Amino acid sequence: MKLVRLAALCSVLVLSACGVPRHDQTESALFIQQAETAFTQNDIQAAGAKVDAASVMQAGAARVKEFFASHPDWLARYGAYLNNAVEIQSTAAAAQRRRENLTVLRAVQLYPDAEIDRLEKRFGETLLAAQQNGTLKLVLGDQIATHPMLQPLPIQQDIFAATVLQIKRNPSSIRPLAELSAYASRPDIPAYDRKLAEESLWRLNLKRRELPLVADAMRNFTVAREKQLTTHIALNVQSNSVFSRDIVSAVGEGHGILWHSNGPGSPVVSVKEVRYSRSDKPQESQIISYGGGDIDNSVPSDAVFSYQASSQQNSLDFAYDIRATINGILVHQEQVSGIATSYQRSCHNNQLWIPGYGAQAAGFIANADMSRRCSNDESLESMFARHVPGQIAAAILRVPQVRAIAALQ
């Protein structure tokens, strides 16, 4: 017990030196300053509230301990405030802050353990009473709903019922997936509650990435939802199976697509080559020369470096028609087109002429300009393979039925 408390105490006291955000330190210091003013004015309610606010901040626990170490006569007043405060549970968030506040006070040993035990016991009893009489209506996902006093099955059933009702009224207001799953996993709940939990999940319109949160407890729902989040696509690409694989690879995973027909109702995507025309211009050559001052290697200033640079422009004009049909009815059509251009370059007959020594073959690159003139661009085939399948994939993902499924992943 002492080791646990020591670890907790160390964690809260060293926060001020462990990367605590500056605004957190500033705000907690302000709360303590306001608490001091309120205590001086004998406004215990305001003072206690400011201490509470500071205590649950990252940098506040150490400040609270230091504050009462400097003003021990105010500790009894804060204790009297706490004695009343633990019986006030207005909202789930406020109750959770009170729970955290008591945990911090125990960690910094502001009061003896016996006193914190007493306060926590009264807090738990008040929390339970508030839930039972409807003063505090908790739902799954509220942090305070995990309090030990609220774990008996009848209480959890009340919280579950409130959760189901809120989801039914406003599905976007809460999303307690893990909590619903945990409740449905309880062996002591009635079968009807599991049915309600599954109905609630359908209302929440789960995305694929959320399904692992509920898979263990509600396998049937998970399988059904996975099927709902999957679309089957038949892809026809002019009998070019290699290109088809490139398109499928470019679409990638995570969009809920299975690449085979699933019968009526499945999209059929056809990719038709409209244009694929390559043109190569005649090769051009020119003599390039640099003076000694433009040569990277150490050569006399009056030296001259020359070489013959050849280049050829190659172009590829392409266009593909993408059509998506469902049961023979056209639902989407667009065209992917463009012109890719590449230069193939070569250099030869490199010579270095130095006055008094004549010309000699030069086996080095003179400078960055020569490097550029002598380097090939990416080949047209490589450019096509790197860009065009991705453009066609993007067009497929714009098919309305595919886009709708992809958005739910």
What is this structure's pTM?
0.68
| pLDDT for the residue numbered 219 | 93
Average pLDDT of the residues in 102-130 = 94
List the one residue out of 308, 385, 318 whose CA is nearest residue 351.
308
> Which residues, 6 or more positions from 242, have their beta carbon under 8 angstroms from its beta carbon?
none
Domain residue extents for the chain: 1-135, 137-229, 234-406
* Residue bearing tokens 């189901």: 164
Residues 6+ apart with CB under 8 A from 118: none
Confidence of residue 1 (pLDDT cuts 50, 70, 90): very low
Q: Which residue has the higher pLDDT, 342 or 16?
A: 342
81-106 pLDDT per residue, tens: 999 999 988 899 999 999 999 999 99
Q: What is the pLDDT of residue 16?
A: 39
240 pLDDT more than 80 = no
- Residue 308: pLDDT over 90: yes
> Distance between alpha carbon 249 and the CA centroid of its chain, in Å?
23
What the block records as the tokens of 258 is 């299975």
Q: 11 falls in which pLDDT band (50, 70, 90)?
A: very low
Reported as a pLDDT band with limits 50, 70 and 90, residue 408 is confident
CA nearest to 383, candidates 290, 286, 316, 333: 316
Place of tokens 């290697």: 297
pLDDT higher than threshold 50 for residue 60 = yes
More confident residue, 284 or 61: 284
Give percent of the chain with pLDDT exceeding 90: 72
Q: What are the Cα distances from residue 151, in Å, to 96, 135, 140?
A: 15, 18, 12
Which residue's entry shows tokens 């209480």?
155
Helices (H) and strands (E) in the chain, counts: 15, 8
pLDDT level of residue 407 (50, 70, 90 thresholds): confident
Region 253-266: mean pLDDT is 83
pLDDT of residue 241: 65
pLDDT of res. 3: 39
Structure tokens at 394: 């993007």
pLDDT band with cut points at 50, 70 and 90 for residue 351? very high
pLDDT at 17: 39
- The most confident of the ranges 23-32, 80-89, 139-148, 396-405 is 139-148
Position 324 pLDDT exceeds 50: yes
pLDDT at 288 over 70: yes
Q: What is the pLDDT of residue 319?
A: 95
Instruction: Output the pLDDT for position 8.
Output: 40
**pLDDT score for 404:** 87
Percent of the chain with pLDDT over 70: 93
Mean pLDDT of the chain: 89
Per-residue confidence (pLDDT) for residue 23, from 0 to 100: 62
Strand segments (E) across 113-175: none
Instruction: Report domain 234-406's class.
Output: alpha beta
C-alpha closest to that of 178 among 210, 148, 133, 144: 210
Question: For 374-398, what is the mean pLDDT?
Answer: 92
